[in-house]
Amino acid sequence: MAEQAAESTGGTAPAGTAVTQETPRALAAPAIDFGDVGGRVLDSLKRGDLGFAIGLVLIMVVLIMPLPAWLLDIALALSITLAVLILMTVVFIRKAMEFNAFPVVLLIATLLRLALNLAATRLILSHGHEGTAAAGHVIQAFGGFIMGDNFVIGVIVFSILTLVNFMVITKGSTRIAEVTARFTRDAMPGKQMAIDADLSAGLIDEQEAKIRREDLQKESDFFGAMDGASKFVRGDAVAGLIITAINVIGGLIIGMVQRDMQFADAADTFTRLSVGDGLVTQIPALIVSTAAGIMVSKGGLKDTMDVAIGTQFTRYPKALGMSALLATALALLPGTPALPFLLLAFAAGSCAAYVTWQNNQSAAKKSQLDQIKAKQEVPVQEEPISQAMKIDMVRLELGYGLLSLINNENRRLTDQIKSLRCALATDMGFVMPAVRIQDNMQLPANSYAVYIEEVEVGKGDLRPNMLLVMDPRGEEISLPGERTKEPTFGLPALWIDPANREEALFRGYTVVDPPTVITTHLTEVVRDNMSELLSYTETQKLLNELDKDQQKLIAEVVPSQITVAGIQRVLQNLLNERISVRDLATILEGISARIPRMNIEVARMLSSIQT
């Protein structure tokens, strides 16, 4: 054999040596790594979306393909477990939005029950004549446990469960879902405005406002979806009732016509199987319907159901006490079993006594804490030295008679000072420092004083309930009143009663109120001292607040050509001449163009001096 193999390959081989013919590479079959393929499949199944899609496909397959009895038992157990899981999740969540996938879960659970209903129907009608185990042991167990030896009892129990699910729980849940969805959508504009108001007031930042808007949108979408998802439960209850009736009627026809069964045997077998199937599917449907009702009924609850219900039931111990008295009275009625009512009376009375004792203890502790807090003296916080040494750039001191100008509801003085700051910024490009207003008991009642960097630069006397009248022509004012001098420019003026305002305006006089007098005086004082009020820090702020397009200009000029202090000096000189510095970019361009020339001139002067 070895020699023949050697001849076929065109050569010789020594005796005892096995010769194999090499297979050409083009004809060799590719090697399949089954371990690698299995790993890829496992990795694919680990993906949640793929597993979810496979689960939906399997449910669709159940609608089409027949299902073995043992696999139907597993699927029915899964359906019951899923229903209990949904109910327990709904019970333990704090608010409905924690389980916002509930409409999708409700749809899948409903589709699963309908698929299992159809699979059970196929088994019942195909193999029902073989016995009560034809559709699996789960349906057999439910049918035998509920009905016993009388299928009429099973029919009545199934009918009652269906009516409870359809007429009570499902109908109420549907109505609550409709009303909640409508009210939630109607309330959305108001809630959006509340979020915008909190954002404008500075109570929340932009990120928090965005989160609240997203939560509001999710809440609206959730209750809208629940409005439609509640129809799944209602349709499931109707479909379960119709499917059970079809199974009974179809089973009787098949059993008597095709399988030659007696009416009694066919009725007992197929009714037992049909009702067992209906019970197996209606009990999970009832559980899921209850979960849907709890979900849409949670409303404003912020805690889990046990905490909320327990807290609210025990909030009023008088209600528990009255319940205990009523149960005791019912126990004393002739012919009534006393033991159950006495046990309930004892439980309610004990709970009422415990809650009352606990409330009294809490009230006593709270009273003791309030007394301790009242006895403790609040330590006076010492004002920091830095605050005592702080210098007010602009300060306005008022006598006690002028405090009504800032304490009234209109707050006209403070509003006019705010307008003054805006006007100076627009007109001169100068941001006036904040004005500190304080009372000074050492001033006369109707006097005020203006300070710039702790130095008094102006003062005046006012009549807070009168108007100041001046004649722009410089003539004598012929109105009754108190003669004085206008505090800003020292012009002759007259304090008149507000009743003469119209007559003064008719004669062409200038009429101003006391807040305007102070604001005018403050305006002139600030304009005269703008150069002193423009500090290094304010200059730096003006540079930082320039547009992004001008920041490159600032980077080229500062500090290579001129420092911030130098720019401050230039701006101070301009303000001292009452020249606006609002166009700061043009001023910087002028500085940038002038400084090289100045450097050349300085260099020439130095060279001439040296020569």
Q: What is the pLDDT of residues 338-375, one digit of tens each?
A: 888 888 888 888 888 888 888 888 888 888 787 777 66
Contact predicate 112/76, CB 8 Å: no
What is the overall mean pLDDT for the chain?
76
The CA–CA distances, whole Å, from 383 to 94, 386, 387, 452 equal: 47, 8, 7, 23
pLDDT reading at 562 higher than 60: yes
Q: How confident is the model at residue 39 (pLDDT cuts 50, 70, 90)?
A: low
Distance CA 26, CA 593 (A): 82
Mean pLDDT of 298-303: 62
Return the pLDDT at 366. Answer: 80
Percent of the chain with pLDDT over 70: 82
Higher pLDDT, 523 or 64: 523
Return the pLDDT at 24. Answer: 42
Return the pLDDT at 448. Answer: 92
Distance CA 13, CA 5 (A): 8
Q: How confident is the model at residue 146 (pLDDT cuts 50, 70, 90)?
A: low
Q: How confident is the model at residue 44 (pLDDT cuts 50, 70, 90)?
A: low
Closest CA to 430 of 245, 590, 581, 585: 581
Return the pLDDT at 173. Answer: 73
Return the pLDDT at 601. Answer: 65
Return the pLDDT at 240. Answer: 74
pLDDT reading at 510 higher than 70: yes
pLDDT reading at 100 higher than 70: yes
Mean pLDDT of 419-448: 85
pTM, to two decimals: 0.47
* All residues at 6 or more sequence positions from 211 whose CB lies less than 8 Å from its CB, including other chains: none
Contact predicate 151/264, CB 8 Å: no
* All residues at 6 or more sequence positions from 337 whose CB lies less than 8 Å from its CB, including other chains: none
E strands present in 284-432: 394-398
Q: How confident is the model at residue 27 (pLDDT cuts 50, 70, 90)?
A: very low
Neighbours of 368 (CB within 10 A): 10
Alpha-carbon torsion 526, 530, 533, 539, what sign?
positive
Q: Which of 3-12, 51-60, 511-520 has the highest mean pLDDT?
A: 511-520
Q: How confident is the model at residue 416 (pLDDT cuts 50, 70, 90)?
A: confident
Q: Which of 208-222, 485-499, 596-610 has the highest mean pLDDT?
A: 485-499
Higher pLDDT, 158 or 469: 469
As a 3-state breakdown, the chain gives helix, strand, coil percent values, each rounded to 5, of 70, 5, 25
Q: How confident is the model at residue 264 (pLDDT cuts 50, 70, 90)?
A: confident
pLDDT reading at 498 higher than 70: yes
